[in-house]
């Protein structure tokens, strides 16, 4: 749910990004199934330096407990890319 999503992912990730000078969380959302279980969680992040920021995001999201199968979807130089959060 939104409050739990904020506490688990948004707030700590935003704090870590700002502390590292790499950006901030700018939005978020969740998709619920018909049974009211979470299908997925999305976070919008604005990075100041994607070369440093992408590895930082992967590490921090892993530390925060992002589930297996989680991915980062981002745009770089006009190209949409997708990488797994966990190796």
Q: How confident is the model at residue 82 (pLDDT cuts 50, 70, 90)?
A: very high
35/87 Cα distance (integer angstroms)? 30
The ranges assigned to domains in the chain are: 2-84
Sign, Cα dihedral of 70, 59, 48, 1: positive
Structure tokens at 27: 């939005």
Q: Quote the pTM value.
A: 0.84
Residues 6+ apart with CB under 8 A from 22: 47, 48, 49, 52, 53, 56
What are the tens digits of pLDDT across the range 42-66? 889 999 999 999 999 999 999 998 8
Residue predicted with more confidence, 70 or 3 = 70
Tell me how far apart the alpha carbons of residues 33 and 65 are, in angstroms, rounded to a whole number: 21
């Amino acid at each position: 749910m939104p409050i739990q999503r904020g506490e688990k992912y948004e707030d700590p990730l935003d704090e870590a990004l700002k502390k590292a000078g790499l950006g901030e969380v700018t939005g978020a959302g969740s998709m619920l199934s018909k049974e009211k279980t979470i299908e997925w969680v999305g976070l919008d992040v604005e990075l100041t330096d994607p070369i440093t920021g992408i590895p930082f995001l992967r590490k921090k999201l892993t530390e925060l407990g992002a589930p297996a199968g989680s991915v980062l979807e981002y745009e770089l130089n006009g190209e949409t890319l997708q990488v797994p959060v966990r190796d």
